[in-house]
Chains A and B, each alone.
Chain A
Amino acid sequence: MQRLLYDRFSSMMYAVCLRYSDDTEDANDVMQEGFIKVYKSLSKFRAEGSFEGWVRRIFINTSIEHYRKKVKLYNVSEVQENTIEDSELNALDSLATKDVLNIINELSPGYKQVFNMHVIEGYSHKEIAEIMGITEGTSKSQLARAKSVLKKIIETRINNPKNSR
């Protein structure tokens, strides 16, 4: 059964690990740790949501724990930086998934975690604050800065397509 679970979810969860990790080595560690947690926590699954969502949540939490062991994210004061509209990131839609992944991986770890959790996974700032041990204000500020950095990266790539990875 363990092998079946692994075959069913490994590709999907490995993509999650890659999005939250700095490099493939970290992603491999999180992948291994995440599946061990899934196997040990199977009895705790209450079928209140989808099994895939439950497994994904375990992997995201494992990624955050792994990240927090390496980097201490300090609370910062909430500033009004959330001026980047989502429409300004529409350029990402025209890119291939691997390219988008590469662009997101250029973000610093703190920005990347919050961006992934809020934009991709759909967590609220309150949930992010609880999981990461920061304030909601810090989560909002991190997201605003992440979007700002992404916008600059996209603009750079559009202006200098040869320099893009």
Chain B
Amino acid sequence: MQDFKNKLYNYETPPPGEIWRNIEKELQISNEPEDEKVVNISTHRRSAFLFYGATAAASVVIIFLGSLFFNKNKHLNPTANTPANSNNVLAQKIKDSINLNHKILESIIHNPKEKKEIIAKNQNQKNSKKYLTVANPEGQPVKISPKVATLIISADNGFPPKPVWNKKISKWQKIMLSSTVSPISANLIDLVKLAAKNDNDNLE
């Protein structure tokens, strides 16, 4: 068996002449267009890079301009900042403040022991621990301390928590009225009068 193996392994037969010609042609073809292909590929890569780069840049610009446009529209919302609207908002705030003020004061009168809790519950976070906001007769907000609020209520004959305060308040009123310094709207006397007036209005 070894003989035919060797025979076949070492067997040689000349190929047809056309094979070399075909190989030669293929070698020439594969050598020539390679240079062109290299140029074409690099051009294609460059153009592809430019295309994707330009697309990305355009996308960023569009997104930026779009965000600017929509933000501008938000600020230019015609229903937001007209004078009539701002007046309405201010009036509503004053009304809310007055209502809240009455609510707090009444709560203090009926539950003086729970005063701190009620104040903390009904007031805003800032300054609310120290002051209450009430509206004066001209509609302007005025900050007062809870102690002053107690005095205001005490001055009202309808809800006297401690009758001794009436005497004290009357005494202070006389002293302040006889003073040569004219009171301003935020003074204590005005606030006492304001509170008394509001309570009278509510009773009516």
Contacts and interface: CB of A to CB of B under 8 A. Distances in A.
Interface stretch (A7-15, A64-72, A128-136): A7-15
Nearest to B1: A86
Nearest to A88: B1
Contact of B13 (A15, A89, A95): A15
B51 interface: no
Contacts of A14: 12-15, 19
B15 A93 contact: no
Given A10-B14, A14-B13, A97 B7 contact: yes
A125 interface: no
B57 interface: no
Contact of B5 (A15, A39, A95, A119): A119
B4 to A, nearest CB: 4
Contacts of B13: 11, 14-15, 18
Nearest to B4: A92
Nearest to A103: B4
Main secondary structure of the interface of B (DSSP, over half): helix
A163 B187 CA distance: 137
Interface string A1-21: 011001000111011001100
A36 B27 contact: yes
Given A89-B1, A92-B4, A100-B4, A28 B26 contact: no
27 contacts: A2-B27, A10-B19, A11-B12, A11-B14, A11-B15, A12-B12, A14-B12, A15-B8, A18-B13, A19-B8, A28-B16, A28-B18, A31-B15, A32-B22, A32-B26, A36-B23, A86-B1, A90-B1, A92-B4, A93-B3, A95-B4, A97-B11, A100-B4, A100-B7, A101-B11, A120-B8, A120-B9
Q: Which 3 A-B pairs have the closest CB atoms?
A: A11-B12, A93-B3, A14-B15
